[in-house]
Amino acid sequence: MDSKQPLASIKNVSVGYGGTPVLTDVNLDIYPLDFIGVIGPNGGGKTTLSKVLLGILKPYRGRVLFPSGRINIGYLPQISRIDRSFPITVKEVILSGVSSRRNWWKSLFTKTEGIAEKLLDELGLEGYEDRAIGQLSGGQLQRVLLARAIVNNPQLLILDEPNTFVDRNFEAELYKILERLNKRMSIVLISHDIGTISSIVKTIACVNGTLHYHPSNELTEEVLHIYNCPIDLITHGELPHRVLKQHS
């Protein structure tokens, strides 16, 4: 694949809800094997950015282009949006991702046998395929949702706050998994946890009504100020710790 050609290209996009823009004049190119951390204050438009990439929201102005042709995009939604009482097994959740971007008749003839088990092995959840999702811990459910997001072997994986509700151990494991996946797919990682993500992402986008792209993973207070990205960086010991400013 030509790494000079973006997989996805957001061009001068303005988008929002009910005619009111949330994001204005956004530009972003996503290249093969990019790993972009998306940060910004609550309500700044991070999830809206992912919806416009996924084609769920249509821009008021501008366009989202896929210069190298149509691509598969995997999506890990915020876990808080998942109804855990829904009676569905781990395997059913993972396989529900298989047909979502294919024609129904194609999916009927696609060999799915063993795919869920293979992904569960890869993510350290072997033997969990027949469990109901209500019987999983937050970290286990995140892994299952990640398996669903990558079941189509996407070129681009978008994760919306995957570190919410997970403990520190799983968080470290998740980042290792993402580093491994990044060898075969581009990743867009939305997170409040700027201190931690800045050590694994390659570049950063600050989203706060518009988007400022920072072509490295090093962020200082000064850079955040220039980008008008109201996030405080506070250092605790070795790991930079972060606190988001409240809505004004």
Q: In the complex, which residues of this chain contact ligand ATP (CB under 6 A)?
A: 17, 22, 40, 42-48
- Termini Cα distance of the chain: 44
> Considering beta carbons, is residue 129 or 161 the nearer one to ligand ATP?
161
> Considering beta carbons, is residue 48 or 186 the nearer one to ligand ATP?
48
CA distance 45 to 184: 27
Pick the closest to residue 196 from 222, 175, 177 (CA basis): 175
> Considering beta carbons, is residue 9 or 164 the nearer one to ligand ATP?
164
CB of 23 to ligand ATP, least distance (A): 8
CB of 22 to ligand ATP, least distance (A): 4
Write out the two tokens for 229: 């990205």
> Considering beta carbons, is residue 77 or 240 the nearer one to ligand ATP?
77
> Considering beta carbons, is residue 63 or 245 the nearer one to ligand ATP?
245
CB of 211 to ligand ATP, least distance (A): 11
CB of 201 to ligand ATP, least distance (A): 17
> Considering beta carbons, is residue 42 or 100 the nearer one to ligand ATP?
42
CB of 39 to ligand ATP, least distance (A): 9
CB of 184 to ligand ATP, least distance (A): 27
